[in-house]
């Protein structure tokens, strides 16, 4: 083989080797044989452990401004001491915030916003007037009251009936009542005129008296209507107010105004607390909150508002605790707190510091002297809760307008009562008389 041929043969061997490296072998069985992946053993299913409830590191409480430090400073001190003791005992932070009762930025609006936008800031408990909790239950959907407090409310014979009735919805409690107040007739103790017990005595009283007739919530008007044994109809029907009873109540106001017993400034006042603040040192009678006059028992006496023939029942504004969290661990801590602040030995002194009545006989005797407790208990046993929030929201403006019409002299009592029925949709407007044909 020549040198040239040997070089050509060598080059061919190199090219064949290179082609074999790039193309790979093409054995006849290569296409029919595949490498099977090693089978992974199927693990034996095991039960997933249930998550363990984690003990919360804080407790969030919201308090309505009507029970806050400005409105009830002495009771606030009692509450904050309980907060500090509870936090120390349970090793957590107890946050207490004050929210306005109503309006923009009020408690209900803040609760709805917190639940939607900042759940970590939402409260676990709320202390507020029942009407605020009723509004929150409708708009924000409060969870039910936890046991054993749920059963306690339904079976507690020592609790006053008005308190239990105030927190029941379809027979089930949505909050735990702890205190109450009512519009009462405050009478200066040194006055020569005796405290009246009937409308006839009140309309002819030589001691003038006044009240906040322009109150947007019509608390005084509702109390007068209740004293006349006025009933509130169901909100599913327009007949919320009894027209005859309302007309009788308005007739009494006209007689008192005509006799000079009812002062003309009654239709200028918007708020009972402001009325008390201005006139508490004057020699006049007033319809005010019981919490105002109870704070000065030596200077004033009081009684339920007179009715046609006798004093009527107290119309109670109830304050209560509601649980707002659904988390089981947080609800347990909330329950521990409620068991602390609803015990008679704590609830009675706190209610007294707030100028309020507790909602049970046991708490009343823990907070007040035996003689006072015994004197007040019959009134509290016979008291009524304020009408449900839905009824008052629907009827308060019509009731207030009827009162202002007769005090202004623009309507007779019968006409004002009839107009209230028209405003509530329970009567047809009277046709306007047309001139007679000549």
Low-confidence ranges of the chain (pLDDT < 50): 1-52, 432-438
CA-angle at 282, arms to 357 and 383, nearest 5°: 25
> What pLDDT is attached to residue 155?
78
pLDDT single digits (tens) 359-394: 999 999 999 999 999 999 999 999 999 999 989 989
- CA 75 to mean position of chain CA atoms: 18
In angstroms, the CA 68 to CA 66 distance is 6
Residue 304 makes CB contacts below 8 A (sequence gap 6+) with 182, 184, 185, 227, 311, 312, 313, 314, 379
Q: Which helix (H) or strand (E) segment is 128 a member of?
A: strand 125-129
Q: What are the angstrom distances between the C-alpha of 326 and each of 33, 138, 331, 410, 431?
A: 61, 17, 7, 53, 55
**Annotated domain spans of the chain:** 58-180+317-385, 183-313+388-423
Backbone conformation region of residue 107, classed left if phi is above 0, alpha if psi is from -120 to 50, else beta: alpha
In angstroms, the CA 225 to CA 246 distance is 7
Residue 299 and residue 193 in contact, taking contact as beta carbons nearer than 8 Å: no
In angstroms, the CA 84 to CA 93 distance is 9
- My answer on whether omega of the bond before 386 falls inside 30° of 0, hence cis, is no
User: What's the distance, Cα to Cα, between the start and end of the chain in Å?
Assistant: 152
CATH for 183-313+388-423 is: 3.40.190.10
Give the tokens for residue 411: 């309507």
> What pLDDT is attached to residue 430?
65
Q: What topology is assigned to 58-180+317-385 in CATH?
A: D-Maltodextrin-Binding Protein; domain 2 (3.40.190)
Q: What are the angstrom distances between the C-alpha of 26 and each of 18, 29, 30, 36, 38?
A: 15, 8, 7, 20, 25
pLDDT single digits (tens) 202-230: 999 999 999 999 999 999 999 999 999 99
In angstroms, the CA 80 to CA 333 distance is 17
pLDDT single digits (tens) 64-77: 999 999 999 999 99
Say what the alpha-carbon torsion angle 208, 275, 64, 70 is, to the nearest 10 degrees: -130
């Amino acid at each position: 083989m020549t040198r040239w041929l040997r070089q050509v043969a060598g080059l061919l061997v190199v090219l064949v080797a290179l082609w074999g490296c790039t193309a790979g072998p093409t054995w006849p069985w290569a296409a029919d044989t595949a490498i099977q992946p090693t089978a992974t053993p199927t693990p034996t299913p095991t039960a997933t452990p249930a998550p363990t409830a984690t003990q919360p590191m804080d407790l969030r409480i919201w308090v309505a401004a009507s029970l806050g430090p400005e409105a009830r400073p002495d009771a606030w001190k009692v509450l904050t001491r309980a907060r500090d003791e509870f936090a120390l005992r349970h090793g957590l932070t107890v946050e207490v915030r004050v929210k306005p009762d109503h309006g923009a930025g009020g408690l209900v609006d803040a609760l709805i916003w917190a639940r939607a936008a900042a759940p970590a800031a939402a409260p676990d408990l709320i202390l507020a007037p029942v009407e605020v909790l009723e509004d929150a239950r409708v708009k924000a959907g409060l969870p039910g009251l936890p046991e054993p407090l749920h059963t306690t409310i339904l079976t507690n014979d020592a609790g006053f009936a008005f308190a239990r009735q105030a927190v029941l919805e379809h027979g089930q409690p949505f909050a735990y009542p702890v205190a109450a107040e009512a519009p009462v007739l405050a009478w200066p103790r040194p006055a020569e005129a005796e405290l009246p017990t009937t409308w006839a005595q009140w309309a002819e009283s030589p001691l003038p008296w006044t009240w906040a007739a322009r109150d947007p919530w019509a608390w005084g008007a509702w109390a007068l209507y209740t004293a006349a044994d006025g009933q509130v109809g169901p909100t599913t029907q327009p007949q919320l107010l009894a027209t005859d009873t309302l007309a009788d109540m308005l007739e009494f106001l006209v007689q008192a105004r005509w006799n000079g017993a009812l002062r003309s400034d009654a239709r200028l006042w918007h708020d009972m607390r402001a009325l008390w603040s201005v006139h508490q040192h004057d020699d006049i009678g007033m319809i005010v909150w019981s919490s105002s006059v109870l704070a000065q028992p030596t200077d004033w006496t009081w009684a339920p508002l007179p009715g046609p023939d006798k004093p009527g029942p107290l119309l109670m504004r109830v304050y209560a605790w509601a649980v707002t969290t659904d988390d089981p661990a947080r609800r347990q801590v909330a329950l521990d707190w409620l068991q602390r602040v609803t015990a008679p030995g704590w609830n009675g002194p706190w209610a007294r510091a707030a100028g309020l009545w507790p909602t049970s006989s046991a708490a009343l005797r823990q907070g007040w002297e035996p003689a006072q407790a015994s004197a007040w208990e019959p009134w509290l046993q016979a008291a009524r809760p304020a009408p449900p929030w839905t009824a008052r929201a629907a009827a308060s403006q019509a009731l207030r307008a009827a009162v202002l019409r007769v005090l202004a002299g623009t309507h007779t009592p019968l006409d004002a009562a009839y107009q209230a029925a028209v405003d509530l949709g329970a009567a047809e407007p009277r046709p306007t008389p047309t001139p007679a044909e000549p």
